[in-house]
Amino acid sequence: MALEWKSEYSVGVKEIDDQHKKLVATISGLFQVIDERKGQETLEKTFDKLVNYGIEHFETEEKYFDEFHYEFAGEHKKAHQAFKDKISDFYKKYKGNDVEISFELADFLEDWLLDHLATEDQKYVKCFKEHGLK
């Protein structure tokens, strides 16, 4: 199974859409790792990409939340923190040699992607556009 970027994920801001596309590619890559039964090294790289994604992407969005005084910044930041916490939990399981972790991780990421990108991130589109962000 592979995930592909869909237009409904777009928030109309190139910088953020490009970051979202990286996440879609990372998740799609994880599905490929699972399908091809690739090993631990590949899963380790996926975790690295997810951690880097969290740092880079969430800081970008949150910078604009603060700059534009986004009304729902607090709840959105909590969702970001919950994502980071969940990825941290998965990483601990992975380091504990949980052999089923890749399936759980892929399922979580797919669900998160569909909800967060297609629903939660769409809430800030109006605010960002009103401030001229493209």
Q: What is the pLDDT of residue 79?
A: 94
- For CA atoms 130, 83, 26, 7, the dihedral sign is negative
Which portions of the chain are predicted below pLDDT 50? Answer: none
pTM of the model: 0.86
For residue 1, tell me if it sits in a domain: no
Among candidate residues 83, 109, 112, 102, the one with its CA nearest the CA of residue 41: 102
Q: What is the pLDDT of residue 98?
A: 64
Termini Cα distance of the chain: 32
Among candidate residues 74, 72, 71, the one with its CA nearest the CA of residue 82: 74
For residue 5, tell me if it sits in a domain: no
Q: What is the pLDDT of residue 26?
A: 83
Range of the domain at 114: 12-130
How many domains are there within the chain? Answer: 1
Q: What is the pLDDT of residue 114?
A: 83
Where residue 50 sits, what CATH number does that domain have? Answer: 1.20.120.50
